[in-house]
Amino acid sequence: MPDWVFDYLILPLGIYFARMTDVSIGTVRIILISRERKILAALLGFVEVLLWLIVITQIMRNLSNVFCYIAYAGGFATGTFLGMVVEEKLALGHSLIRIIVPEKGEEIVQNLAQAGYRTTTVEAQGVRGPVKVILSLLRRKDIPVVLGILKETAPGAFYTIENARKTSDPELWKTSGQEGESFARILWRRQSRIRK
């Protein structure tokens, strides 16, 4: 294989894919830190830094190769985007949805309850009159389901969604069946010990 194939094709591509991988891992790691997943975040941090060291070593050995710089920058940009896509697909953690409606509040609460979501309702006063504020804490991966219920029940409803860092209720992880419930309790106890 000629030297130019390695210098201007294989090496830049290797740098690109390694940088893309380490930045993707870094993006997910930061999100895991915000969700208090300490052990997994630390393991990802180890892999991230190891990849970065390999890449930066190759850059330093090939300072005159402009294709390495382009590959490094391209890998960083692609890795940032890819990391966000991966995190979105994983949908880690919990969110708080706040729904504000002047009417159909009871119907929304009933439909959410039938689908297995717990809600809290508050009577409030808006600019145009009385409204109901419906709060529900749910897993992030359940957001599309809840939004589907909301769209069917009250298409014009105003809502906001926020990330919830932690909850005091281990039953939030409860799944169908006794096995899921016991796993949720074990997970809750483990997380509580780690936080102490």
DSSP 144: H
* pTM score, whole prediction: 0.63
- Distance separating alpha carbons of residues 42 and 84, to the nearest angstrom: 19
| CB atoms inside a 10 Å sphere around CB 181 | 15
pLDDT at 171: 59
pLDDT at 141: 87
- Distance separating alpha carbons of residues 181 and 184, to the nearest angstrom: 5
pLDDT at 89: 81
| DSSP H helical ranges for 142-177 | 143-153
- Distance separating alpha carbons of residues 171 and 59, to the nearest angstrom: 50
- For the chain, the C-alpha Rg in angstroms (whole number) is 24
Q: How many CA atoms lie within 13 A of 153 on its CB side?
A: 24
No. of helices (H) and no. of strands (E), the chain: 7, 4
pLDDT at 170: 55
Amino acid symbol at 106 = E
| DSSP H helical ranges for 62-122 | 66-90, 105-114
pLDDT at 126: 87
* pLDDT per residue as tens, the chain (196 positions): 777 788 889 999 999 999 999 999 998 898 888 777 889 999 999 999 999 999 999 989 988 999 999 999 999 999 999 988 887 787 777 889 999 999 899 999 999 999 989 899 999 998 889 999 999 998 888 999 999 999 999 998 999 999 887 777 655 544 444 444 444 454 444 444 444 4
pLDDT at 180: 43
